[in-house]
Amino acid sequence: MVNSILITNSGLNKSSGGGLVSFNLMEALRSCSTLKTIFSSQIFPENMFNGVQAFSALPQHYGYEQATPFFMDSFICNNLPDEPIDLAQTYACPFPCTVEKLKYKYDTKVVADLAPHNIAVSKEEHIKIQGAYPFPHLTNPNLLHMYLRHLRLADKVVVHSNSSAEYIMKEAKLKELPLVIPHGCYIPEKIESLPSTMTPGNFGALGIDKGSSYLFDAWLGLYHEGGPFKENHQLMLGGTGSGQLALKEEYQPLFSHIPHVPNVSDFYNKISFLIHPSVVEGFGITVLEAMAHARPVIVATGAGASELVTDGHDGFVIPIRDVKAIQDKIIYFYHNPGELERMGKNAFETAKRYSWDIIKREYVKVYEELI
């Protein structure tokens, strides 16, 4: 039997984000190999994985409040199993020392999975918004070379959009174009009806790369003098990142927050459509999740998930940093409520093509080709 390990800088969960991706990578590995060890940023309950060793490699768990991005790599490299490992799946960066040891000590087949950001665009946005770019490992040439090295050592590199594949091939100086496997989504057993009041939503972290400032400018602008509506509409924000929002008191009624969302359906069922204005993002899993709940999306081209959206069919694709485009699409849905239902049905059909069961089979194909 093939022995495997999973290495991820996320946790493992079935809610959303990187933890959800890692969980499904674990499931794919377990379906075709004997999963021996999991390295993650999470502390796991004992025996959570029925005998599979699970290590937390998060710096904070070992007393390092500000460790470099390479801490996990060093920790994992020094705690690899003694027995041979045939297959390793990594998720996100960086793991250069670990992958090198796996390759040269065990001749392990390595699949490296990541959702790369365009560094130049991200740096430009950070400087524009806060005046500095706080990630020296992405701008120092020597550190960046080390950061991306495990991709060059891997047997297969997987990314989640065509734009990411072209970008990282050039940035990491890869010999071949990475394989594109989009993220997946769970298909709900029951789809709730749209809310009676138009309610746009945004789910996830409120970060600089996420385009949050453009979304807020667009939404607040609709309530200024001459705006199309004055009351009864709120922009719903979901996820822990929504707690970062600081607004003047008079603006608070225009927003609603659900900071803790144990079941993502509880959020998507409350909104009419999702707005995902990322300036740069490797994928954007919430786009697909909203579509799985029959909600159309307004998504900026900075998110890799925009490649799955057909403009005017199951949502709208807009330019990055375009406040007016966000407003125009919100106003369109406001004046054409029937389009929410039409596009929502189309969005659901699109999402069904990317269920996690389908996506996991794509990973299993990669594993079986290597081993």
Superfamily of domain 200-352 in the CATH hierarchy: Glycogen Phosphorylase B; (3.40.50.2000)
Task: Name the band, by pLDDT with cuts 50, 70 and 90, for residue 25.
Answer: very high
Task: Name the band, by pLDDT with cuts 50, 70 and 90, for residue 45.
Answer: low
Per-residue pLDDT, 169:
97
Per-residue pLDDT, 271:
96
- Per-residue pLDDT of 72-130, as tens digits, reads 898 899 889 888 999 999 999 889 999 999 999 999 999 999 999 899 999 999 999 88
Residue 250 has pLDDT above 70, yes or no: no
Strand extents, DSSP E, 266-319: 273-276, 297-300, 315-318
User: Which sequence spans correspond to the domains of the chain?
Assistant: 3-184+356-370, 200-352
- Nearest-5° Cα angle at 349, 344 to 354: 120
Average pLDDT of the chain to the nearest whole number:
90
Per-residue pLDDT, 245:
54
pTM value? 0.93
307, 301 contact by CB (below 8 A): no
Instruction: Look up residue 137 and give its two tokens.
Output: 């490992």
Per-residue pLDDT, 323:
96
Domains 3-184+356-370 and 200-352 share a fold: yes
Per-residue pLDDT, 242:
47
Count of helix runs (H) and strand runs (E) in the chain = 12, 13
Q: Rounded mean pLDDT of 4-12?
A: 92
* Side-chain-side CA neighbours of residue 237 (13 Å): 21
- Per-residue pLDDT of 181-214, as tens digits, reads 999 999 998 899 999 999 999 998 777 899 988 9
Per-residue pLDDT, 7:
95
Task: Name the band, by pLDDT with cuts 50, 70 and 90, for residue 225.
Answer: low
Instruction: Look up residue 317 and give its two tokens.
Output: 């694709």
Residue 4 has pLDDT above 70, yes or no: yes
Instruction: Look up residue 51 and give its two tokens.
Output: 């005998």
Per-residue pLDDT, 243:
45
Torsion angles phi and psi, residue 88, rounded to 5:
-130, 135
Name the β-bridge partners of 158. 113, 179
What whole-number distance in Å separates Cα of residue 2 and Cα of residue 371? 8
Per-residue pLDDT, 254:
83
- Per-residue pLDDT of 227-245, as tens digits, reads 777 667 889 998 765 444 5
- Per-residue pLDDT of 284-334, as tens digits, reads 999 999 999 999 999 999 999 999 999 999 999 999 999 999 999 999 999
| CATH architecture, range 3-184+356-370 | 3-Layer(aba) Sandwich (3.40)
